[in-house]
Amino acid sequence: MTDTTPTPEILPADAPQQGREATDATTVHREDYQPPAFWIDSVALTFDLDPAKTRVLNKMQVRRNMAVPAQPLRLDGEGLNLARVLVNGQGASFKLERGQLVLSNLPEGDAPFDLEIFTTCQPEKNTQLSGLYVSQGTFFTQCEAEGFRRITYFLDRPDVMSVYTVTLRADKAAYPVLLSNGNLVEQGELEDGRHFARWSDPFKKPSYLFALVAGPLVAREQRITARNGREHLLQIYVRAGDLEKTEHAMRSLMASIAWDETRFGLPLDLDRFMIVATSDFNMGAMENKGLNIFNTKFVLASQATATDQDFANVESVIGHEYFHNWTGNRITCRDWFQLSLKEGLTVFRDQEFSMDMAGSASARAVKRIEDVRLLRTMQFAEDAGPMAHPVRPDSYQEINNFYTLTIYEKGAEVVRMMHTLVGEAGFRKGMALYFERHDGQAVTCDDFAQAIADANPQSPLAVHLEQFKRWYSQAGTPHVQAEGQYDAAAQTYTLTLTQTTPPTPGQGEKHPLIIPVRLGLLGRNGAALPLQLQSEQGVQELGLEATLVLHERQQSFTFTQVGESPVPSLLRGFSAPVVLHQNLDDDALETLLQYDSDPFNRWEASQQWAQRIIVQALADGDAQAAPRLPERYLAALRHLLADAQLDAAFKDLVLTLPSEGYIAEQLDSVDPQRIHAVREALQDHLAQALHAQWQTVWEQHHDTGAYQPDAHSAGRRALAGKALAMLVRDARRTGDAVWPGKAYQSFKDAGNMTDRFNALSALVQAGHPLAEPALERFHQVFRGESLVLDKWFQLQASAPAQGQGEAASVLARVQRLMQHPDFSLRNPNRARSLIFAYAQGNPAGFHRADGAGYQFWAEQVIALDAINAQVAARLARALDRWAKLAEPYRTAARAAIARVAAHEPLSKDVREIVQKALAAPAA
Ligand code: TRP
Ligand code: ZN
């Protein structure tokens, strides 16, 4: 309930080319792609696992790719100690060049040869969490995107696919569980208390999908029989104390398997499927073949320690990684520019999975609204900033910087538009053709689009395929202007749609896209009007809802026999990732909010209305008294709250004002303090004006019975939590002690983490004196639960200042928390919960007129960069939008970025981010 603002290559002839001169030698360009000069058909790896010095023996069968000119073999490696290189059992001559191992005198012709490489590495010194590392006494690997080269020399690129056999040897007492991809084929004892396990993966895979785990873990096990009769063993490995928290993860895994069988006809292809959880992880989770490795945050859940949001996230991330088994692993990416081939498609699949699991139409809409909110707040900002890039980028310096909202979330929207243009059945046919053509291959985004189109030759996607593919090549968020003209005499309604895309760095000229616009027309009484579209072939009867396909810069659509001036409901379900501009008056917004059959657009009407009120309040300036919400808007919200037909979760979303981050994106010049003040004042007014309703809502919703994490009861808890927050907020005005007291009581007595945390947040966000004892007690109770401690840090970092003066400021609080014995910069979850929550989730606490927030940010980026470059580079993006800030923020922010950029040494991860930020055009 708190704000979630915190995710054959032929260029079209008209696609602009990137300016190559401007970028330095370390930039990788998509158009430079060359097939590999060698193939590696099989790999046998033997690990002698030791935290201080692990020995890796890598025996490969290599063969020349005769389709490319003969050249030396260049193997990638990073941070390795090389001991031996043998070719066909003989010592071979080699060079080390820019980190690569170069072998020149290799056997000629296409006959395979043996290449044996012996190296060592130091897992306990690996703080980057890429390659082989140790976390709490257990070995883990993370190889995507380019971590395998930190384990052994290899052709570390996704289009080189090999069959792996892996032997793990380690001390048996310290590392009783030894896991790798595929099937366990042999295990046994060795001398000196050591043991071994041998794993064999029947599927060819690229190196980024390799994984091993070794340590003292326990597993929840489940045997299942698939629809096709095949039996599988499912295992979820965690540390001994965490086993009771894996039930929801196992349920989610079983549901994912069943869903992919039913919705896409895609079965599990392995006898054994394992998930392992670690608390030291750079991202959410990783889809290694048969051995998914997860951040504990997305596996462990119990009602005592996890919120409803956590339960939903576990389900969705387990789904995501499982669905990668087909979309990512069976068919993978030719090169990393094609990353969205697997990520966009798999996000689309996990979104659909979550919606299907949610059940009712209204619960589905809630999930869609949450996804769109993330896209519009975070991805649209990315698309408008210095890191803007196409869904299929043209260049990068560090690929880890391109695991972005554009690749994931916009990529999913591109897949969703294809789904809209060919229909659900057509999309399933397209997926079937995609697997028929490309199973076992490393392919491109174009291959995917081609398969979906070829399976649906009559569809608008096939008709407009070349133009549709601009969604992959063109960066930036398109804007669509909608203008409606009603002709009462002719009884026609003409809708004119105009599209433009603003320029992005390196891409000045933009071309029209294919934009599906789902729409309906409403009468003033809210009834849906039948759609009769005039076209060259005559009048088409479209029923009550249709999808128009905008393909020109400007197009007009005329509907006939329209008996009254209609209210247009455009872009239903957010049918395209665009910014829609239409000048609807309050009457129209009220009609949509009350009557639209599309729940997404009902919510959207509430947001547009609120946005307009906020923008007006900002324009009115400081001279004005505290801004207020107009009575008409409040009346509409009261009406909606009282509607017994609507889901509680949906009401919660409608009653949430646009976040400060979203508001900022709509403005040309951003004063974060001013936005905060206005939004807070409006929230205060919402608390006051709906006081009676909030009380009723709390009374009707706060008891949700025995805990179940399903969408319906989660929605009830969310709305009750919002009501409580509003009532505690309003107590600041009235001086009432009852509601803060109830909040404290609810915090103490709650039977689940959702209610407990909502009550705690209500006190902390309102800055109530009870917040302090509550926070203390919370820490006492949960000090042994690191995922709960993350929440404790995060809440304090994202809450407003708790009083006047520097000592009471958010920054001072964050700096005190950095000294807390439970804080550590080394653990990414903990660093995110404090530093990222401050820099990205607390605009008013971070954007200080004295620039102290930015200076703190610069220090932390530099400190983190020495430990973990991937995590540091994510934090570095917090100031992406500096050029939009008003003074004095703008100058101070730029200075902080320049300070990071000037620091030596700097990882190439962080360097790319700050260089691009500083190159942003002066706004
Ligand atoms: N492929 C993972 C996913 O989306 C993402 C991922 C996990 C990742 N760990 C990573 C990407 C480390 C880069 C680096 O499911
Ligand atoms: Zn993924």
Pocket of ligand 1, beta carbon within 6 A: 142, 144-145, 282-283, 285-287, 320-321, 343, 400, 403
Index of the ligand 1 atom closest to the CA of residue 281: 9
Nearest 5°: the CA angle 110, 115, 116 is 170
Neighbours of 413 (CB within 10 A): 24
pLDDT at residue 20 above 80? no
Contact status, residue 336 vs residue 786, Cβ threshold 8 Å? no
Range 427-444 average pLDDT: 99
Of 144, 276, 349, 400, best ligand 1 pocket probe by most atoms within 8 Å of the beta carbon = 144
479-579 placed in CATH 2.60.40.1840: yes
Instruction: Determine which residue's CA is closest to atom 5 belonging to ligand 1.
Output: 286
Say how many Å lie between the CA of residue 203 and the centre of ligand 1: 20
State how far the Cα of 859 lies from the Cα of 904, in Å rounded to an integer: 13
CB contact set of 768 (below 8 Å; sequence gap of 6+)? 728, 731, 732, 740, 743
- What is the mean pLDDT of the segment spanning 472-481? 98
Residue 734 has pLDDT above 70, yes or no: yes
> Residues 770-808: pLDDT tens digits?
999 999 999 999 999 999 999 999 999 999 998 899 999
Cα 281 to middle of ligand 2, angstroms: 14
Q: What is the whole-number distance in angstroms between the Cα of residue 12 and the centre of ligand 2?
A: 28
| CATH architecture assignment, domain 217-299 | 2-Layer Sandwich (3.30)
State the Cα–Cα distance between residues 603 and 840, nearest whole angstrom: 25
Q: Name 167's bridge partners.
A: 46, 198
Cα–ligand 1 centroid distance for 254 (angstroms): 22
Asked if residues 212 and 141 have their Cβ atoms less than 8 Å apart, the reply is yes
Do the Cβ atoms of 315 and 354 come closer than 8 Å? Answer: yes
Q: How many CB atoms lie within 10 A of CB 745?
A: 11
pTM, entire model: 0.97
Those residues with Cβ within 8 angstroms of residue 631's Cβ, 6 or more apart along the chain or in another chain: none
DSSP helix/strand/coil, 611:
helix
pLDDT band for position 818 (cuts 50, 70, 90): very high
Q: What is the mean predicted confidence (pLDDT) over 804-817?
A: 97
CATH T-level topology, domain 331-472: Neutral Protease; domain 2 (1.10.390)
For the stretch 219-264, pLDDT in tens is 999 999 999 999 999 999 999 999 999 999 999 999 999 999 999 9
User: What does each C-alpha distance from 387 to 19, 393, 511, 738 come to in angstroms?
Assistant: 15, 11, 20, 49
Dihedral sign (CA 149, 151, 155, 159): negative
Distance CA 5, CA 845 (A): 14
In the CATH hierarchy, which fold is given to the domain comprising 584-782?
Answer: Zincin-like fold (1.25.50)
CB contact burial 165-175 (16+ within 10 A = b; e otherwise): bbbbbbeeebb
Q: Which residues surround ligand 2, an ion (CB under 5 A)?
A: 343, 346
Q: What is the CATH number of domain 40-215?
A: 2.60.40.1730
User: Of the residues 132, 282, 289, 399, which should be mutated to test ligand 1's pocket, given the most ligand atoms within 8 Å of the CB?
Assistant: 282
Secondary structure of residue 694 in the 3-state scheme: helix
Share of the chain above pLDDT 70, in %: 97
Contacts of 723 (CB under 8 A, 6+ apart): 694, 695, 697, 698, 701, 702
Distance, C-alpha 422 to centroid of its chain: 26
Q: Which neighbouring-strand residues pair with 218?
A: 238
Handedness of CA 596, 601, 603, 604 (dihedral sign): negative
The pLDDT, as a whole number, for residue 621 is 78
- Ranges 342-351, 356-365, 727-736, 749-758: which has the least confidence: 356-365
Domain ranges of the chain: 40-215, 217-299, 331-472, 479-579, 584-782, 811-922
As to burial, measured by CB atoms within 10 angstroms (0-12 exposed, 13-18 middle, 19+ buried), residue 856 is buried
Same fold, 40-215 and 479-579: yes
State the closest ligand 1 atom to the C-alpha of 285, by its place in the atom list counted from 1. Answer: 7
Closest ligand 1 atom to 328 CA = 1
Confidence of residue 24 (pLDDT cuts 50, 70, 90): low
Q: Is the pLDDT of residue 439 over 90?
A: yes
- Enumerate the active-site residues: 321
- Please, what's the b/e burial string for 453-462 (b: 16 or more CB within 10 A of its CB; e: otherwise)? bbbbeebbbb
Strand partners, 238: 218
pLDDT mean over 355-378: 96
> What distance lies between CA 650 and its chain's CA centroid?
22
pLDDT in tens, 287-304: 999 999 999 999 999 999
- Residues 349 and 327: beta-carbon distance below 8 Å: yes
Task: Tell me how far apart the alpha carbons of residues 322 and 273 are, in angstroms, rounded to a whole number.
Answer: 9
